[in-house]
Amino acid sequence: MSFSADEVARFLGGRVIGDGKIRITGIESREFASEGDITYALTAEEIESISSSRASCVLTTIEKEKYSKTVILVGDIKKALTIMYNAMLEVMPPAKGNVHQSAVVSSSAKLGKDVTVGPNAVIEEGAKIGDNTVISANCYIGSDVIMGRCCRIFPNVTIYSRTKLGEKVIVHSGTVLGADGFGYVPKGDKIYKVPQMGNVIVGDNVEIGANSCIDRGTFTYTEIGDGTKIDNLVQIAHNVRLGKNVLIASQTGIAGSTVVGDNVMMGGQVGIADHAVVGKDVKLAAKSGISGRVAPGRIMFGYPARDAVETKQMYGLMTTLLRYRLELKRFLRGLPKADPEEKRDPGIESGP
């Protein structure tokens, strides 16, 4: 599938300078681009260097009198690339399926049309894999897993039994879906394991980063809503329910039975205690600590998290107190205000 530069410019709301009839078949960076690719230039220096690229066309915001290649001028490079990338994914023809000879696929597993299974992958009994899905090398797909069409499972992913994935789910390398949750009951001199009998349900158009873990439910299920995007190194515990279009940055940990509403955004290293409830449209700043309930639409910051405005005011007050702590000590001790020209009492100045 290819598009002319004129078609791309109209789609992106840009303007072509050069040959608008050249055909574009892909997107690539300057260093790796080949004929038919469109690339991008963010600075004047990059514009000067595009002549050495094999790309056929360049997206840029930099205007000049003459370019060495056909250019599409746009207002926002990141937005334009994102729109074009997703549009091309929609129209790209699916790859022809192939099951590698070293893969182990149960005779009771059902593979849809044009499914690709990489070297040393294992698909257990009763699994159902949707059309045009790619399961890369060394993946493990447990028994009775259900996976929708057009999923992409990168190498070394482990998906435990009975996990359900919707359509167009992307799971990056090293991720584990459906492992037992962290549930134990201490009694006497022993610690007893709570049964982890549920599963994980992942909606459509979800992307899960590398080396993340989503645990199965205890007696019910752990749910990841449609459109949710999860970064690398994220832990989601048993029975957690994430709404639609949730964004979670790296190293965030969400404890068991937490409910997160639609459109919530979490910065890196957010920590959420068990049984918390986070309302829809909430924004949690990086390293925020959450427990209890957060009302919809709030912006939270700090550990423990408070309203972001209050937290910033608190940090500002702490800075002021540190700056004037010596004067405050004198005031509290009933001493006169120190003369800035005089040497201060070491006893007053010492200490935090």
229's CB contacts (< 8 A; 6+ apart) are 206, 207, 246, 247, 248
Q: What are phi and psi of 89, to 5 degrees?
A: -60, -35
Q: Which amino acid is at 163?
A: T
As a whole number of angstroms, the distance between CA 127 and CA 93 comes to 25
Terminal-residue alpha carbon distance, the chain: 68
Residue 100 bears catalytic tag: no
194's CB contacts (< 8 A; 6+ apart) are 181, 183, 184, 185, 218
Active-site entry in 100, 172, 238, 275: 238
Question: 186 preceded by cis ω (within 30°)?
Answer: no
Name the packing angle between helices 325-332 and 308-323 (round to 10°). Answer: 70
Q: Which amino acid is at 302?
A: G
- List, by residue number, the catalytic residues: 238
